[in-house]
């Protein structure tokens, strides 16, 4: 997984930067240096070999414990886990023993007025960054050094910054999870209910038509906070392996084995006042003899984010306008759908390559600005 950390001018003391030297830091999560060394020697990674020849290639010890959010937090703050407070992907609340994401916490309003089945919040919710310490780009800001921080892990919600930042690994989907897919099928051999990374939803094909709900965020305006849902329908061609989808006035055709573009979905939480926008992709795995449909995790819409994912807030909207829509979910490659058997190797590869293509489009749009 690539994480383009920073494109910035080199730092010096003082309130403003007047230098010309520029620096790019590229971070790659989970890259094994021994494998990299072997691949460079075998000629499989010539660009990395050229970087090593022009500069240096040295081994560094990882964090303790060697977990991604811990290591990235070390890099960002210059402290170890005892300083920044991130020890793993998951922490537990000692009062309730409930697990929560180590680097951030999204909470609803603390006070509310209950009116029948409705819950009227008295105040707003919050997305809290739990990492302690100052990120290095906060120090760059103080010295007037321009910087762009792109998809660095463990930076959701992004810390306030003068530069442009986009959150990466650790950014939840619209449901507040690390990524929950949905799989719709009329196959009785596929057990309904929750699987490790998603949810299997049974459907019926009646008169060549399927009607089901897309699952959105918990509706905190309702008693018990049930998930918000929005209806969609699928008209399956009785002869050909093709289907017509209808989602909130949007219609599109998919052949068996075809992916949709991003589809925007607006979830109504409370009439008139409270709507939340997300987006997802559809994959028609099979039309006949059994209906099988994969729907990606509902991502935060970068053009109208329901949660803070960038600084300034308009930066994610600008990126989507310049480079097209993209996954905002921190770990977008759906390995859980693959391990659960909802996607096979080729289907997973197509999904992962689509994520990479988005990153490359954003890079192509942003890198000329650095030059």
Average pLDDT, 10 consecutive residues per value, the chain (371 residues): 47 52 88 95 96 91 93 95 93 89 76 59 69 95 92 93 93 93 94 85 96 92 86 97 98 98 93 84 97 98 95 96 96 95 97 97 89 60
Residue 23: the pLDDT is: 87
Residue 9: the pLDDT is: 43
- The whole-model pTM stands at 0.88
Identify which of 130, 153, 137, 128 has the alpha carbon closest to the alpha carbon of residue 71.
153
Q: What is the DSSP letter of 78?
A: S
Residue 272: the pLDDT is: 64
Cβ neighbors of 22 (< 8 A, separation 6 or more) are 7, 8, 9, 10, 370
Residue 17: the pLDDT is: 58
Residue 1: the pLDDT is: 43
Identify which of 98, 106, 105, 74 has the alpha carbon closest to the alpha carbon of residue 87.
74
Distance, in Å, from the CA atom of 135 to the CA atom of 63, rounded to the nearest integer, reads 17
What DSSP letter does each residue of 111-131 carry, written as one string?
A: -EEEETTEEEESS--EEEE--
Between helix 33-41 and helix 46-54 the angle, nearest 10°, is: 100
Residue 126: the pLDDT is: 67
Residue 190: the pLDDT is: 85
Task: Specify whether the CB–CB gap between 166 and 315 falls below 8 A.
Answer: yes
């Amino acid at each position: 997984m690539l994480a383009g950390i920073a494109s910035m001018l080199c730092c010096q003391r003082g309130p403003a930067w007047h230098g010309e030297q520029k620096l790019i830091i590229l971070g790659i999560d989970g890259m094994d240096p021994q494998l990299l060394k072997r691949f460079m020697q075998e000629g499989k990674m010539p660009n990395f070999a050229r970087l090593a020849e022009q500069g240096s290639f040295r081994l560094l010890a990882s964090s303790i414990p060697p977990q991604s959010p811990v290591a990235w937090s070390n890099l960002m703050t210059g402290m170890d886990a005892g300083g920044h407070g991130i020890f793993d992907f998951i922490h537990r609340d000692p009062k309730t023993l409930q697990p929560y994401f180590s680097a951030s916490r999204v909470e609803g309003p603390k006070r509310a007025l209950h009116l029948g089945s409705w819950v009227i919040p008295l105040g707003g919710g919050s997305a809290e960054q739990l990492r302690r310490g100052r990120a290095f780009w906060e120090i760059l800001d103080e010295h007037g050094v321009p910087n762009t921080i792109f998809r660095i892990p463990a930076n959701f919600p992004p810390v306030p910054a003068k530069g442009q930042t986009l959150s990466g690994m650790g950014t939840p989907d619209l449901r507040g999870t690390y990524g929950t897919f949905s799989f719709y099928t009329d196959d009785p051999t596929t057990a309904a209910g929750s699987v490790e990374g998603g949810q299997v939803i049974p459907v019926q094909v009646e008169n060549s038509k399927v009607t089901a709900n897309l699952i959105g965020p918990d509706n905190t305006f309702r008693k018990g906070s049930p998930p918000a849902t929005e209806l969609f329908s699928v008209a399956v061609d009785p002869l050909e392996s093709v289907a017509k989808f209808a989602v909130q006035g949007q219609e599109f055709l998919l052949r068996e084995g075809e992916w949709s573009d991003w589809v925007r979905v607006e979830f109504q939480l409370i009439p008139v006042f409270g709507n939340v926008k997300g987006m997802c992709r559809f994959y028609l795995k099979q039309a006949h003899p059994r209906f099988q449909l994969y729907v990606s995790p509902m991502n935060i819409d970068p053009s109208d984010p329901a949660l803070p994912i960038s600084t300034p807030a308009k930066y994610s909207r600008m990126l989507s306008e310049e480079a097209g829509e993209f996954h905002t979910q921190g770990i977008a490659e759906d390995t859980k759908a693959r391990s659960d058997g909802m996607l096979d190797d080729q289907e997973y590869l197509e999904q992962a390559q689509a994520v990479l293509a988005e990153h490359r489009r954003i890079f192509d749009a942003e890198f000329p600005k650095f030059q």
